[in-house]
Chain A
């Protein structure tokens, strides 16, 4: 099993390109999806995800376990995304609606509603956006999010409550959807 084989000896992976590739494959969906949901731009998300994994490649010898790798990836991806959007704020941006987004196979829920929710989440302030992505993409509880982002748990809960209220409000105004 891949997870078991690389869990114990992450230090060896950096000298073995094939095993590092396996490690990337194992975590690529997490890192890429965080970036994609945050940025709503697949090309940019892939670029940032690649940078995160390159950083992981350099950092890997000092990471001690598979859990450490996952925690580190979440932390670095989240901060990289926040830094990126703060940097981008200083430059003129194209409207959110113009961002390319692929057709995502709908395995549950309403695809139009899902698309609207992704837009609304992507329009949240930086910290709230990352908190929402970790909560609903990664299914982390508030305590884990607080640890992952080095943020007080009260702040995490406050972001979640405010963001959910904001989304409910916007959904009911835009589409008359009551959730």
Chain B
């Protein structure tokens, strides 16, 4: 008697109960195959679209902020220029 032969005999393959394959197939019909390439591509596209929309939003927000800052800077310069003109007029009036 050889242990390895006995192990081969003891561990030989056996079939599951009848109808096993049909039960597996029945379960595939109720289980969505989310790993199919088409689903994976759809998920990737959706995520890419969300990232693009997010980046566009951030870019837009920064553009608006920059334009507002630019307008504020122009107004500040105009006010400063007006004040300088007033001061210059006062100085020239005193000298005269």
A→B interface (CB under 8 Å): 14, 17, 20-22, 24-25, 28-30, 32-33, 36-37, 42, 45-46, 49-50, 53-54, 57-59, 61-62, 104, 106-110, 113-115, 117-118, 121, 132-133, 136-137, 139, 164, 167-168, 171, 177, 179
By the criterion CB–CB under 8 Å, are A20 and B28 in contact? Answer: yes
Q: How far is the CB of B77 from chain A (nearest CB, A)?
A: 63
- Cα(A108)–Cα(B10), bound, Å: 9
Contacts of B35 in A (CB 8 A): 58-59
Contacts of A24 in B (CB 8 A): 20-21, 24-25
In the complex, besides A54-B31, A104-B14, A118-B11, 7 extra interface pairs with C-beta distance below 8 angstroms are A17-B28, A28-B16, A54-B27, A61-B37, A114-B6, A137-B12, A164-B4
Q: How far is the CB of A101 from chain B (nearest CB, A)?
A: 11
25 contacts between A and B (CB under 8 A): A20-B28, A21-B25, A22-B21, A28-B15, A28-B21, A33-B11, A33-B12, A36-B14, A42-B17, A46-B20, A49-B16, A50-B24, A54-B27, A57-B31, A58-B33, A58-B34, A58-B35, A109-B6, A113-B6, A114-B6, A114-B10, A132-B7, A137-B13, A139-B8, A177-B1
| Given known A14-B33, A164-B3, contact A109–B24 (CB-CB < 8 A) | no
Between A and B, how many residue pairs show CB distances below 8 Å? 116
By the criterion CB–CB under 8 Å, are A46 and B17 in contact? Answer: yes
- Cβ of B23 under 8 Å from chain A: yes
Contacts of A57 in B (CB 8 A): 24, 28, 31, 33
- Cα(A167)–Cα(B4), bound, Å: 10
Query: Among the listed B4, B10, B27, B36, which residue makes an inter-chain contact with A50, where contact means beta carbons less than 8 Å apart?
Result: B27
By the criterion CB–CB under 8 Å, are A136 and B25 in contact? Answer: no
Contacts of B25 in A (CB 8 A): 17, 20-21, 24
- Cβ of B9 under 8 Å from chain A: yes
